[in-house]
Structure 1
Amino acid sequence: MKHSLLDIVINSKKRRNVLMLLNERDRSADEIKNLLDETSSSIMPQIRILEENDLVVQENGNYRLSEVAHVIINNMKPFVDSIRLFDQYPEYWTKHDIRRLPKHLQRRIAEIKDYKLQKPDLSHLFELPDKLVEDILKSSKVMIFSSFFHPAYPKLLQKLADEGTEISIVLTGSTIDRFKIDHINEINDFLKLENTNIYSYKGECGVEAVVVTNTMMIMRLFFSDGSFSHTRIISHDPSSIKWARELFIYYKNSSESIEKI
C-alpha cells in the first residue's frame, strides 16, 4: 500500500533509522536488526513499507536505498541530527541559551555529536576534573575562549606552556582585568613565550566558554535567563571538534591581539 513519503519518513523512528543506516552502505536484514537492536518482527514490517514505497530495494540478499531515497536522506540528515542532539538531553537544551551563538553555527549546531554532559559536584565547583585536565595536557594545540575567570586557568596555562603546547586564548575584558589583579606577572611571562597568544574580545558572548584540543571539545552555555551554568558539553567526535574550532575562530577573528597586560 502506497503512503505519503512524508508520512513514511517522518512518522516512524524505526523507518528513519533504517534509511539512515542504509545511507552508509547496503546491509542485510540481520545487520539492520542487530545494529538497531530490534527483533525481526518489529523491524521487517517497516522495511517492507519502505520497499513498497520504492525507498528501499532488495538486491543480492542485501537492502539498499533507491536513488530517490538517497536524495531524501541527504536532505533530511540535518533535520534528523538536530532531533538526535536535542532528544538526548531535552531538559538541558530547554533551559540553556543557543540564541546568542553566531547564526551560521547556530544553524549547524547538530554537528555536535556523541556528546555527554558533565555537571560538577558543588563542593568542587571551581576545580577542573583531573581527567579533563589530563586530556587537555595531552594535546599539542589548545584553543580557549572564556567569558569568566576560572581559578584553575593560571596553573593549567602554565603547565601547557611548559609542555610547549601551542596555546591561543580569547578572553573578555572583565576576565583580563581579573588576571591583572591577581596574576599579572604570570600572564606577562606567559605572553613572552613563542607558543602562546592572547586576544581581547569586547563583543557579545554567545557561550560562557569553549575549549578545543586535538581530540576534544568542551563548551558551557548560559542559562536561558543569561545566568551562568556550570554544566559542560564534552565531545570527542571529529564533527563536534570542527564545529567548536569554528566557534573559537569566530571569537578570535573578532578580537585584538595582546602583547602585554
Structure 2
Amino acid sequence: MKLALLGTLFLSDKRKDLLILLIERPMNIDEIKTTLNVTSSAMMTQIKILIDQGIILYEDDHYKLSSFGEVIVKKMIPLLNTLMVYEDNKQYWENHKVNGIPTHLLERIEELGVCELVEPELNRMYELPKKLTDNLVKSEYIKEISSSFSPAYPYKYIELARKGVRISLIITEPVFERFETEYSEQLKDYIGMENTELFVCKDDIGFASGVLTDRFLSLTLFYKNGMFHNHAMMSFETGALKWGEDMYRFYRNTSQEVTDI
C-alpha cells in the first residue's frame, strides 16, 4: 500500500500538476482542463486514481484535496522543488561539496528555485564570470561570505564602493591574513569607506563564496577533491534572496568586525 501511494503521487506529471493546482482552491473539470491544457479523458483517469487513494474528493461538481491530501501536497511541494534545483544542474551538485553548506540551509535548498551555472570565459579563467560582474555593478548593496582568496576582489569592491554601492564582506581568518599581507593599502582603503563593512569569521566556512545583492544570489562550492574553480550558481528568485539573507545572518553572528588595521 505504501509503495502504491508513492507511485500514485510521483509517477505521473499530470497527477503532480493536478495536486499542486488544487492546493490553491477546488476546481471543476473544465477549470482543470483549461489550466493544465489537458483533455477530459486523460485527466479523469488520473482523478479516479487520486480519489481511490483518498487524496482528492468530488463534491458539488468540484474536485478538492482531502484533509490529508492537503498535508501530503504541502509536504510534496518542497521535495519537488528540491528535485528541480538538483536536476536542472545535476552535474554541478554531484561534483561539488554540497555538505559545505550549513545543514539548516541545505535542508531549504529548494528555495533557490531556478539556478543558472555561470563561468568565466576560457581566456579569463581567473576573473569573475561576466554575468556576475554585470549584475554586481547594477546592485545597490553586496553581501559576501567567502573562504577563498581572489586578487580581483579588493579592486572590484573598492571600485564599486566608490560608486556608492554598500558592501559587507565576511571572510575567514586565512583570507584576511592574506589580504592584510599582500593588499594592505587596498584593505585600508576599503575599511576607511563609510559604505563598507568587513567581518572576520573564526568558524569554518565550508564553501568558496556566497554573494547576495538586491538582484541575485550566487553560490560557489568547492569540488569534492577540495579544488576551487571560479564559477557560480546564480539565482534571481525572491526565495533565493531570502535564503541568502539567512545565510549571511548566520555567518555574521559568528564574526567580528574589523574597523582598523
TM-score class, shorter: 0.7 to 0.9
Asked if the contact 1:170–1:251 (Cα under 8 Å) also holds between the matched residues in 2, the reply is: yes
Q: Which amino acid aligns with 1:193?
A: M
- TM-score, structure 1 length as denominator? 0.86
Q: Which amino acid aligns with 1:194?
A: E
> Which residue in 1 is equivalent to 2:202?
202
5 Å-filtered alignment, 1:8-27, equals 8-27=8-27
Asked if the contact 1:198–1:258 (Cα under 8 Å) also holds between the matched residues in 2, the reply is: yes
> Which residue in 1 is equivalent to 2:123?
123
Asked if the contact 1:169–1:199 (Cα under 8 Å) also holds between the matched residues in 2, the reply is: yes
> Which residue in 1 is equivalent to 2:231?
231
Asked if the contact 2:57–2:65 (Cα under 8 Å) also holds between the matched residues in 1, the reply is: yes
> Which residue in 2 is equivalent to 1:216?
216
1:7-65 residue CA offsets vs partner (Å, 9 max, x unmatched): 31134343123212322344565665566566665444223322343433456776432
Deviates further, 164-173 or 61-70: 61-70
Instruction: Indicate how the Cα distance of structure 1 residues 30 and 90 shifts in structure 2: closer, same or farther if over 3 A, else same.
Output: farther
5 Å-filtered alignment, 1:91-240, equals 91-240=91-240
Deviates further, 125-134 or 185-194: 125-134
> Which residue in 2 is equivalent to 1:243?
243
Aligned residues: 259
Q: Which 5+ residue runs of structure 2 have no aligned equivalent?
A: none
CA distance in 2, matches of 1:24, 1:48: 20
Give 3-state SS (helix, strand or coil) of 2:233's partner. Answer: strand
Asked if the contact 2:191–2:198 (Cα under 8 Å) also holds between the matched residues in 1, the reply is: yes
- TM-score, structure 2 length as denominator? 0.86
Q: Which amino acid aligns with 1:122?
A: L
CA distance in 2, matches of 1:37, 1:123: 46
Q: CA RMSD in A?
A: 2.6
5 Å-filtered alignment, 1:74-89, equals 74-89=74-89
Instruction: Indicate how the Cα distance of structure 1 residues 27 and 120 shifts in structure 2: closer, same or farther if over 3 A, else same.
Output: farther
Q: Which amino acid aligns with 1:252?
A: R
CA distance in 2, matches of 1:36, 1:231: 37
CA distance in 2, matches of 1:152, 1:39: 56
Q: Which amino acid aligns with 1:83?
A: L
Deviates further, 208-217 or 33-42: 33-42
CA distance in 2, matches of 1:90, 1:30: 37
Asked if the contact 2:141–2:167 (Cα under 8 Å) also holds between the matched residues in 1, the reply is: yes
CA distance in 2, matches of 1:8, 1:241: 34
Instruction: Indicate how the Cα distance of structure 1 residues 180 and 33 shifts in structure 2: closer, same or farther if over 3 A, else same.
Output: farther
CA distance in 1, matches of 2:31, 2:150: 48
5 Å-filtered alignment, 1:37-76, equals 42-57=42-57, 63-76=63-76
Give 3-state SS (helix, strand or coil) of 2:203's partner. Answer: coil
Instruction: Indicate how the Cα distance of structure 1 residues 130 and 117 shifts in structure 2: closer, same or farther if over 3 A, else same.
Output: closer
Cα distance, 1:205 vs structure 2: 2.0
